Chains A and B, each alone.
Chain A
């Protein structure tokens, strides 16, 4: 019953103990969650299980096979597949080819017979194509069969990544932050997909992610790591209420930061706008991503931009800071027209952009990075002010920025922003990839900006926190502004907030009904037995296609047909 057994695994990187005698069990048919704050060691554990890192101590067993020394391709043969957080698709190959490659890598294929189209290869090739098509159908990817993987949008690419892992006929699927970068709606769909995949492909899963709603919704059992040690384990509901977990990971309830909001906003309401954007349109290559974008930031204001992934928030910021050239529209900053100007010139006017990924220099030390501010400000800047604000950086002064944790890097980026005394700071997804406690600390820093009279334009997925700290907000939809207003107004719009990450009460009851084939058809749980019987792929597909044309679930159709058989 126990498929994966990890016992007392220890991993050390130099002086740091990343994992300290961690053990876990994964049972057949389970979806297991592994969570923890940044730096807790979950990625390290993940990499140990998938074969990227060898542990310094402990052992791992997959069924009866010892995993410790097996290289990645041997683990693949044992039935362990994984997806990658940053998507390692084979971009120049079609989706179909992406799926076929793991299949034939695990079969017995031979270079010479392949090149000469010998009968064995041709037969294996046809079989692979069949299987690939079946998987694509289940995951709703058939229209993209012949598209190059590199040309697909990110959401589809994620499904392809999962499809490819499934093409290996794995018994265990390791999912590395599959919800990274997805908004609330997409994450919910992902959760449904994972459950459907488990039913259809009889695959057990180990899930590592930050997104609590996904983990709680989808997992049967959860392990919590903190500082390399096992902190807690149990069912999702009990984990959520465990005080240790709450303290370490979920953090305290968010304090309202809203006290000073009204004052500042009131005093400066009559000043001319610092940043004025009219009819902005911009895009990449041949695609137009945003159009008719109008927004405005007054001096000293904090303005939030929220909205789903792909709605155009990042593109807007990039067009303002000069990273991309706008196609149309006017951008005025402090009285100067800046549309189409170079990023360097715009930065020197006092408009700073902290992009996604933080825009730092991995091989330069923290101190040198902060000193770099003097270059751009034109005057010598006292970097000790930054260390007062972020004491944690003081001891890391000589460390290379690339070796810092995500939260610390964000601190460096914010420190730089403060030191350069800009007039407006644009921050893109400050909280991305960071644990909630760290995020709360960073949002506090926004207050410091406000105190110094620096205006902030904030793109955020944490809707609640963003609205807590902002004066006004714009809601982006499909490349333009859908909604705008004061933060107070928007906060009271329940529908809006419900779609966000932190505000929702986690759905305690897991998805009671599994999806028949991942594309929205629902089947009765009692039919799970039926559907889990191994039916030839062709037959299953025929059933599904027939069911679609009749507008009902495949399971229902199967039951009906079988019922008819029984009658005879």
Chain B
């Protein structure tokens, strides 16, 4: 029994990571209409900026918590700027194009960001991540004998909190409504007097912030901190996002947990680094072929 519980806890931890990654993707999709394949890369770059501040530029006299806070702030500020830059330089010019074209554009953003990071911070295999909560804070769940890191709990809490918070924001506030209107039909929104450019800019900044937050927390957890690992999470993030129908933020988080469990349980029998990716793919296929949630109407149509 405790072995099963242990695997469940590991699975839920992993699921938290997927949830957090998927949240940002669904948020951006719902508010801009773009499926952001560069999401991991954006988070990665902002995390590197925070890393640079923490390990490269912080003053030796500062206590750890201050340095961490400053680094975190720097990362988030950069993320907002990155989102703003993307809206003005790129996405404002392609508002009326098909979703596929916009997704291909994100491939361009992905390649550019990844290589830029590699250029600036050298493509070493492994960088030391930033620990928002100390690694030593660990809690052992009774009856399971598996230590659960505080960071892991933080990830889950942030994922769930953001899901409900952002979900409510989109559904019930007037700005959230405006964001949904802009992503649904930018031309109609402008005829309604909605300031499309401003709303779109906020959408990208928000999405970028979530990506940065996810990047910092996730790299402290168990995913390698290098230029490509966060991007490679994309398949698992997309699987979770699809379980949520690309629409519902809470369901996306649920999807993340389900996926985490589905990827962890088989490791009881199959020891393989790559096998979980197959699980993610099968989940994607299952969801796409069986379900047809309303968020898909636009996605699947073109």
Contacts and interface: CB of A to CB of B under 8 A. Distances in A.
A371 interface: yes
A363 B191 contact: no
Given A348-B193, A364-B177, A376-B193, A359 B188 contact: yes
Contact of B194 (A353, A362, A363, A376): A376
A360 B178 CA distance: 13
B34 to A, nearest CB: 15
A516 interface: no
Contacts of A321: 191
Interface stretch (A84-92, A339-347, A465-473): A339-347
Nearest to B198: A344
Contacts, number: 73
A364 B184 contact: yes
B187 A371 contact: no
Given A343-B190, A347-B191, A347-B193, A375 B178 contact: yes
Nearest to B190: A343
Contact of B184 (A322, A352, A353, A361): A361
B294 A363 contact: yes
Interface string B82-113: 00000000000000000000000000000000
Chain B interface category by residue count: 20 to 34
Chain A interface category by residue count: 20 to 34
Nearest to A400: B294
Interface in A309-343: 321-323, 342-343
A376 B181 CA distance: 12
A212 interface: no
Contact of B180 (A343, A364, A373): A364
Nearest to B247: A363
A368 interface: yes
A502 interface: no
Given A368-B177, A375-B177, A362 B184 contact: yes
Nearest to B195: A344
A372 interface: yes
B185 interface: yes
Contacts of A368: 177, 180
A322 B180 CA distance: 22
B174 to A, nearest CB: 5
A376 B190 contact: no
Interface in B180-205: 180-181, 184-185, 187-196
Contacts of B190: 322, 342-344, 347
B233 to A, nearest CB: 27
Interface in B151-194: 174-175, 177-178, 180-181, 184-185, 187-194
B180 A361 contact: yes
Contacts of A361: 180-181, 184-185, 188-189
Q: Which of B177, B178, B180, B297 has the most CB of A within 10 A?
A: B177
Nearest to A361: B184
A374 B187 contact: no
Contacts of B177: 364, 368, 371-372, 375
Contacts of B294: 363, 400
B187 A363 contact: no
Contacts of B295: 363
A355 interface: yes
Q: Which of B188, B190, B191, B196 has the most CB of A within 10 A?
A: B191
Nearest to A371: B177
A386 to B, nearest CB: 15
Given A344-B196, A374-B174, A359 B191 contact: yes
A343 B191 contact: yes
Interface string B14-46: 000000000000000000000000000000000
Contact of A364 (B175, B181, B191, B193): B181
Given A347-B191, A347-B192, A400-B294, A371 B174 contact: yes
Contacts of A348: 193
B192 A372 contact: yes
A373 to B, nearest CB: 8
A363 B180 contact: yes
A344 B194 contact: yes
Nearest to B174: A375
A376 B192 contact: yes
Contacts of B188: 355, 359-361
Contacts of B193: 343-344, 347-348, 375-376
Contacts of B191: 321, 323, 343, 347, 352-353, 355, 359
Q: Which of B180, B192, B196 has the most CB of A within 10 A?
A: B192
B192 A359 contact: yes
Contacts of A323: 187, 191
A345 to B, nearest CB: 8
A403 to B, nearest CB: 9
The 4 closest A-B pairs by CB, nearest first: A376-B193, A347-B193, A359-B188, A343-B190
Interface of A: 321-323, 342-344, 347-348, 352-353, 355, 359-364, 368, 371-376, 400, 402, 416
Given A343-B191, A359-B192, 8 more contacts: A321-B191, A323-B187, A348-B193, A361-B181, A362-B184, A368-B177, A372-B177, A372-B194
22 contacts: A321-B191, A322-B190, A323-B187, A323-B191, A343-B190, A343-B193, A347-B193, A352-B191, A361-B185, A362-B184, A363-B298, A364-B177, A371-B177, A372-B178, A375-B174, A375-B177, A375-B178, A375-B192, A375-B193, A376-B193, A376-B194, A402-B297
